[in-house]
Every structure is written in structure tokens, then in C-alpha cells.
Amino acid sequence: MRTNPTPTAPLLVSIEKALHVYFSSESSVLDAEDPVQFRSQMLLHDSDGSADDTERDDEVATPATVDNTLLGVSGESYTMQLAVLLHAWHSTGTNPLVSLPSTTEETSIDGVTPEFTSRQRILEVSVDAIHSFITAIEGGTDKEVLTATTTLVDELGGARGLLTLLGFQQTVGSRTLAPLTLCQCLAAFAQRHTPGEPLTVGARAFSKHCTRSSSGWWGELKGNDVAKNLRAETKVRELLAAATWKNIHSLPHAHATMEIRNALGYGARWDAETQNFRGFLEPPMLNGHEIKWRH
């Protein structure tokens, strides 16, 4: 995938403002399962003080680019990430999804069937539609900006289209709920497993996986609880930064789940509704449950 630097031109600001106007409207993304939740997550800035104070100051230090939006979980707001993608689409004339493979090794997950209708719909959107959107929002009134942005989002396929444009997979069972932000993922990971004890839920989950990979991919979990917490956090940050497969989908008898996996198939899950950390994931394998995911 080519590297696209973060644009700093005033046009990017205009696009972000247009999206902010759109997501601030109660008439936006009404096709989402929970439009209020979707709008709130799209507008949320991890640096606005609304997230947990366990976050580090560097969560949003890396600006959004096309690459780290489509692959990985960026620390920028989803509104800014969409703005970066639309800016690149307009300035290069190339649909950002062209550079994102439609199938990868980690898509071969038992019980997960890929769908491509949303991706195909976005790939069929003419660059002229993007140019028209840009023309309409530059110098337009809030009403004109809202109309132009609504038209574009509808053409992209509504809430589902926005998720696909952000790099989230569409599969049988995918849900139109907004994803967690990077800081929300890390804050959930850092919750205490037992009140009053330092070990986090993330480190507790990590301890179950260290012995499963014969290659040693997970590494060892040694030391006191503070050391274990740091080791586990380092690993989940690695997964979040290198996620080549992202999805919000339903699991049997469970809430909607935000799932990420890297190119090797290792991953992690969060409850997309309660925002709780669900655990780490081994690569897809035949009869994984029967062999307790040891490989």
C-alpha cells in the first residue's frame, strides 16, 4: 500500500467541518442500528477529555493517513479519518479502497463469510461525485453543506458505506454500529480484573495465550502484575496498530463485537455495545476449539 501523508491544506479542514455538520444532525445515518451511538462515535475525539484517564498523551500523536486509517486503528477521530480519505480521493482521483486488498489470509475465519456489496458500491462511486461534494462545501452555508454531505453519504451506502470506507470488513453478520475509538479500546483493556488488585483484564486474558503459540509470537508473561500489565498492553497496541482485518459483527449468543486481526491472524475483540474487552484471538485453524487453540 502506498503511503499518503496527512494533508494539512485548508481543504481538509473544510471536509472535516462538513462531516461534523453532518454527524451533528439528527437526520444523519438513520440507517445505522443506533444512529445516536453512530453519530457520537464518529464525532468523538480521544483527546477531548471524555475518555478514561488511563490513556497516554501519545494516543493521538500520530496524524491520520490513508494507510493508518484503512489498516490499524487510528487515534484520530473517525470524522477526521473520513476527511483524510475523501481529501485523498479528491486530490489523487483514486478511490482509497483500490489500495486495500479485498481478501487476505485472515479472512478465512471459521463461520465468517465475506460480503463485498458495500465495497463494490463504493468502488463504483465516480470521482466526479467527490469533486461535486468538494465544490458544494467550499463556502456553502450549513444547510448547503449538510445537503451535499448527505447526498455523498447516501451514494456511499449510508452507515454501512462509511464503515467500509474506514476499512471495516463486511461479512454475513456484520453490524452497522460505530467502532470503538483507540482510546476506548485501551481503556477497556486497562480495567482492573479484580477491584483493588493491579492486574488488568487485558493482562489476565493475555496470560491464557502465552503458551498457545509454539512460535512464541505472544512472548512470555513474567514479573509482577505491573510488568504483566505493561507486556500485555504492548501486545494489544501492536495488534491495534497493525490490524489488517477489522469488523463489527455478531457472534453466537453475544453482543456485537469489534474484532481486529493482523496479517498473521492474531487478534483481539471488544464488545461493541458495552465497550468491554473480550479477549485475544489465535489465528484461524482447523478444529481450534478441540485442540484448545494450541499451535
Q: How far is CA 97 from CA 71, 163, 249, 292, in A?
A: 11, 12, 20, 36
Higher pLDDT, 210 or 143: 143
pTM of the model: 0.90
What does the domain layout of the chain look like in residue ranges? 10-165, 182-281
284 pLDDT tier (thresholds 50, 70, 90): confident
Give the pLDDT score at 171. Answer: 94
- Overall average pLDDT of the 192-214 stretch: 90
Angstrom distance (rounded) from CA 233 to CA 11: 36
Give the pLDDT score at 63. Answer: 86
Q: For residue 144, is pLDDT > 60?
A: yes
Q: Which residues in 141-236 belong to E strands, given as ranges?
A: none
